[in-house]
A and B are shown apart, each in its own frame.
Chain A
Amino acid sequence: MDITFENVSYIYQQHSPFAHKAIDQLSFHIPSGTFVAIVGHTGSGKSTLIQHLNGLVQPTAGKVKIGDFELTAEKKPKHLKQLRSKVGVVFQYPEHQLFEETVAKDISFGPKNFGVGDSEIQRRVTEALQAVGLSADYVERSPFDLSGGQMRRVAIAGVLATKPNVLVLDEPTAGLDPRGQKEMMEMFYERHRSEQLTTILVTHSMEDAVTYADHVIILNKGSKYMEGKPEEVFVQKEALQQVQLDVPEMVAFINRWNEKFHTKLPFTKQSERELATAITAVLKGGKSHE
């Protein structure tokens, strides 16, 4: 599903002394099937933005289009349930939403609300548990006896089980151990590709944004600050530092290397191995260069 924002603004507690503009005149377009990273300093409006994607909030001005659904300030949105069955959202700290007696029941909750049949739910529960790296032994356990990381996985499985077309992830790996973080991101990426999802990832990790995203949107104080391919956006060190963001480690390394050895290695989202090869080539051919 294509996603379009047209001059969207959102004001919390409008018409009160506490009014606060969290999104300001935001416009962008995300074609179906894209993996988008949304990056920004804390409080820049990322979480507010993604709440527009399944109609949890209505823009106070402007228009949001998700596939055939339209959200505007004026009209009360219709068919919200249908929209929500197509757009799955993994919130920041999703483990807080667990409430059922068993893991299986909690994962079934979403699909059941969207009218999925029992046998299909069964299949999805098994599949989702496996996807998040939990063994089938967990189905009958209480979600409240699990560790924080395990609870997170169950909550994520609960969203995956609704089989959305658009998957929205709000810092899904914050607070997981490094290995768990990597596994989780790989899993999302794998699903993104195999199920042709449109994925929107809110993240503080420039590494994740570079590794997985086709497109990056950088927010600052509720407005779009930069937008483009990761290899274009993430090389602009000064511009990023203006909004308290860093370049990815890889870019930082290439920059320092170039400075020190007066070379002009470009950043092309290359892997560490590719970079090593390029450096070796430069070193070998280096003599003739200088």
Chain B
Amino acid sequence: MKKFIKIYLEKPELAGLVFLIILTIVFQVQSDGIFLNSRNLQGILGILPEMGLVAIGVTLLMISGEFDLSVGSVFALTPMVMAVLLADGTPFVFAFGAGLLAAMAVGFVNGMLTVRFNIPSFITTLGMLFVARSITVVISGGFPPALPPGAMPKWLFTSFVGPGGMFRMSFLWFVLVAVLMTFLMSRTNFGNWVRATGGFLPAAKSMGIPTARVKVASFMICSVLAGFAGTIQVMRLGAPLPSIGEGMELQAVAAAVIGGTALTGGIGTILGGIIGAVLIRVIDNGLVLVQFDANWFKMALGGLTILAVIVNAWLRRKAKSIKVETDK
């Protein structure tokens, strides 16, 4: 037990993983084995990347000590920018790039406002939640623009691939991003700075880390990933609705927290955020499978989030009380 708790300090996603395994077993048993069959897995994996990409970005940002409540709106804005340009006859590459640039710009503004005026990002991004959503609706002209057929290379993003069409292409993109971001956070100096900035800002500053730039960069990464995720959803659905992504910001925070990310910054892993996102998809899907009223989804998600925070806080306290061994 001591050992487990000690490991927990380095791997805060452990509790989330345990939750995931337990729930998987419960759903598998309750659904008479349907839960883990290939058709159902295909369904889960098909939409996981959308939530997952958002969760990765939000997790990274939370490790740097900041929040982003505008990801749900960016999730809608990015594909809307792309769609409006596509409807106008712009080639896909440019339209897609413009969408991501818009996302990046939102992240930049979020970061600059937060850092320059020293306001809690909770507030700046709450404002941006409304601003970005509003822009989305305005540029859509009130109804989704009609996309020319074949304007989007669905084969590159949403078509089914792999054995038995197990995954969508988006899943491969998701895995690629997940690996890159994990690498960024754990192996690069930038990752070290993000963690230091969120872990203890005065120390990071006094060691000469450009903490303001680190935060702005984190906001931008978070925004771009949310925008990319939204773009994938629009390609899957085929139409750019201005209302997509509503409520996603809080689900993403829930995912990060369930995965062991601390609200105070400095603690957490990308893998944890992904585990959290998978858990959310699993609950959503599992409740339907076991023929539970789907309206319980939010109840389950809320309960799990609170439980995760309690368990994580408890484990952290316990782990801290076990002193490190020294030779002398």
Chains A and B form a bound pair = no
Instruction: List residues of chain A with CB under 8 Å of any chain B CB.
Output: none
